[in-house]
Amino acid sequence: MSHTVPHIVVIGGGAGGLELVTRLGHQFGKRGKARVTLVDRSPTHIWKPLLHEVATGSLDSGIDEVSYRGHARAHHFHFQLGTLTGIDRAERQLTLAPINDDSGTQVVPGRTLQYDYLVLALGSQSNDFGTPGVAQHCNFLDSREQAERFRQKLLNQFLRLSVQNRDQADNPARLTIAIVGAGATGVELSAELHNAARMIGSFGFEGMDKGQLDVHLIEAGPRILPALSERISASAHLELTKIGVKVRTGTRIVEATEQGLHTADGETISADLMVWAAGIKAPAFLAQLDGLETNRINQVMVHPSLQSLTDERIFAIGDCAGCPIGENRWVPPRAQAAHQMASHLIKNLKRLFNQQPMQPFVYKDHGSLVSLSRFSTVGSLMGNLTSGSFFIEGHLARMFYVSLYRMHQLALHGPLATLLMAFVEHINKVLRPRLKLH
């Protein structure tokens, strides 16, 4: 290789990827022990569990997002804007797609990038399971751009109904939103939509503060939040019903059209806006990357060391990694798993550079929390895979839920900057509108 120190390239700046390069920059980049490069298709990062708040306007992504270039300069790693299109494992070389502007004019040509160690941290995206019409007619919340597009559509719907309700006050129009998938994203979005609708009336939108919103939360399985305990599921179901969400379990969607969603029972659920949040898969192109072994949802299969089964110089972490934790059990696609994998991989790379054997990754389930906007928060703490956990809700649960984001900020920025960010957030609640209205 042309460089004298190892070059670690991380593809994907999500929760795990950005935490990884931040700490690698301090441990190796700052000391000249390795060159660290992050590659991402977007110039900025926002914590994915916050996207449902971006989608409703209760969070301004322009304030909370992190510039990769600025962060790289402050934390001793390099950043390249680009989309991975191929890997040549024999040459240890990546291919990045050309970068075009909004009009399609090429700004940066396609490039190649050499690596010594490669980490895939590409996250996941919604899985439509090949359901007809979903890709054409449903909204997704896999990225900041998608969340912002949905927010604009939502504001347009609020404006349309506001005008209609002003002209026909005796027969107010209603806005119907259907969300397919009652995992954490679907549940949190349904509550946040009701919160946004209740606030929007104070900004001059007629009628929306009077309950002119119908939200259908649709789940194919027998209960919402199927990955969590029955107690959390039952509590969340009750809270959603209280605020007016129409929860529909045991309802499988077989087609989406411009008018609405069609169920396996022959029913049509009409909707003005539709969101697909059912299931996840890793990006499809991972299955075509120079022989890397993947599973049915495109995750790169890895050893407990987080090395890919195919190539010991290629690692995978987070949602795009298929990591075993026992017989027929896998590390779940959660932000806490990506955080733990990033922390473990830093230790393993250090051991690798010191010519010591790498250690297996052990996932520790610290529980799960689901935010129902300002209405409630439910979840469990101190869970693990062998023993129980205890249930919490209300203000205590909300405090722990907020602390998850603070831990992410702490990993990226350190204690002082995180404290200042929390202070600025409190100031903004006084100075800025509670909803982003443009």
Please indicate, yes or no, whether residues 254 and 139 belong to a single structural domain of this protein: yes
pLDDT at 296 over 50: yes
Lowest mean pLDDT among 70-79, 157-166, 255-264: 157-166
Range of the domain at 333: 7-124+282-353
Residue 112: the pLDDT is 96
Name the percent of the chain lying above pLDDT 70. Answer: 92
Domain C-terminal end among 297, 318, 353: 353
Sheet of 246-248: strands edge to edge? 246-248, 213-218, 175-180, 273-276
Look-up: residue for tokens 């179901």? Answer: 237
Domain C-terminal end among 299, 328, 353: 353
pLDDT tens for each residue of 164-198: 877 666 667 789 999 999 999 999 999 999 888 88
CATH number at residue 161: 3.50.50.100
For the segment 80-101, the average pLDDT, to the nearest whole number, is 95
Residue 361 belongs to a domain: no
Please indicate, yes or no, whether residues 141 and 113 belong to a single structural domain of this protein: no
The Cα 273–Cα 323 span in angstroms is 36
How far CA 248 is from CA of 52, 77, 96, 188, 245, in Å, comes to: 20, 47, 43, 15, 9
Residue 170: the pLDDT is 66
CATH number at residue 311: 3.50.50.60
As a dihedral over the C-alpha atoms of residue 247, residue 250, residue 254, residue 258, rounded to 10 degrees, the angle is -10
Residue 365: the pLDDT is 86
Residue 174 near residue 207 (C-beta atoms within 8 A): no
Look-up: residue for tokens 């890793």? Answer: 282
Non-local (6+) Cβ contacts of 203 within 8 A are 433, 435, 437
Residue 362: the pLDDT is 94
pTM value is 0.90
pLDDT at 245 over 80: yes
Please indicate, yes or no, whether residues 28 and 55 belong to a single structural domain of this protein: yes
Domain count, the chain: 2
Sheet of 367-372: strands edge to edge? 367-372, 376-381, 390-393
Please indicate, yes or no, whether residues 227 and 147 belong to a single structural domain of this protein: yes
Higher pLDDT, 364 or 59: 364
Residue 161 belongs to a domain: yes
DSSP assignment of 93-162: EEEE--EE-TTS-EEE--EEEE-SEEEE----EE--TT-TTHHHH-B--SSHHHHHHHHHHHHHHHHHHH
Confidence category of residue 210, pLDDT binned at 50, 70, 90: low
Domain C-terminal end among 315, 331, 353: 353
pLDDT at 276 over 60: yes
